[in-house]
Amino acid sequence: MERDLGGTLFPNGKHCTPCVNSTRVFPAVDPYVCRACPDPLMSMQADGSCVCATDWSLVTYGESATCVWSASLTSIAATYSSVNAQVMQYNDVRSTDGGTSYTKSPSLNSIMINTYFLAAITNCWVQQERHACQMLANMCVLQKYHQSSTACLAFRTRQTVITTYEHGFTSLLGGQDGWRTSTPFLYQSTNTITASAQLLAQTVTLTDTQTDDNSKTGTLKFKLFSYSFNGTFLGSQVLGSQLQLCGGDAKLLTHFLRFGTNFENSCQLDLTPFLSASPNATTLFHELFIEDVGGTLFPCPIKVLNMRLGAGSTPNRDDANGERVDEDANQLTRRFYLVDNLSGKESFGSNPVMLSYAKSLTLRVMMQGTSNENIRPPLLVVEYAEREASDILDGAGKQYSHVSFSTEYLKDSDDFWRAAHGLFGTAIVLALVVVSVGERAGRNSARSHACAMGC
User: Using one digit for the tens of pLDDT, what is the confidence trace for 406-427?
Assistant: 998 876 544 433 333 333 322 2
Sorted by sequence, the CB contacts under 8 Å of residue 409 that are 6+ apart come out as 259, 260, 261, 262, 365, 367, 451
**Among positive and negative, which fits the CA dihedral 182, 188, 193, 195?**
positive
Residue 211's pLDDT is 46
Sorted by sequence, the CB contacts under 8 Å of residue 222 that are 6+ apart come out as 238, 239, 257, 288, 289, 290, 291, 300, 378
Residue 312 located in a structural domain: yes
What residues make up the domain containing 180?
56-188
Same domain for 338 and 285: yes
**Among positive and negative, which fits the CA dihedral 273, 274, 280, 286?**
positive
Q: What value does the CA radius of gyration of the chain take, rounded to a whole number of Å?
A: 26
Same domain for 432 and 286: yes
Residue 268 located in a structural domain: yes
Q: How far apart are CA 102 and CA 386, in angstroms?
A: 10
Same domain for 148 and 233: no
Same domain for 202 and 138: no
What global pTM score does this model have?
Answer: 0.79
Q: Are 308 and 314 in contact (CB under 8 A)?
A: yes
Strand 354-366 and strand 108-109: the pairing is: unpaired
What total number of domains does the chain contain? 2
- End-to-end Cα, the chain, rounded Å: 72
Q: Are 345 and 86 in contact (CB under 8 A)?
A: no
Residue 327 located in a structural domain: yes
Same domain for 398 and 311: yes
Residue 1 located in a structural domain: no
Out of 144, 159, 188, a domain closes at 188
pLDDT tens for 6-23 read: 667 766 666 677 887 777
Same domain for 130 and 212: no
Out of 157, 188, 219, a domain closes at 188
Residue 3's pLDDT is 67
Residue 11 located in a structural domain: no
Same domain for 172 and 128: yes
**Among positive and negative, which fits the CA dihedral 233, 238, 239, 240?**
negative
* Other C-beta atoms lying within 10 Å of the C-beta of residue 184: 25
Residue 345's pLDDT is 93
Pick from 36, 366, 395: which is nearest to 199 by CA? Answer: 366
Residue 216's pLDDT is 39
Residue 175's pLDDT is 55
Same domain for 273 and 171: no
Q: Which residues of the chain have pLDDT under 50?
A: 173, 190-205, 208-217, 413-443, 449-455
Residue 244 located in a structural domain: yes
Residue 289 located in a structural domain: yes
Residue 1's pLDDT is 55
Same domain for 350 and 375: yes
Q: How far apart are CA 17 and CA 160, in angstroms?
A: 51
Same domain for 68 and 91: yes
Residue 5 located in a structural domain: no
Sorted by sequence, the CB contacts under 8 Å of residue 10 that are 6+ apart come out as 1, 2, 3, 4
Residue 41's pLDDT is 86
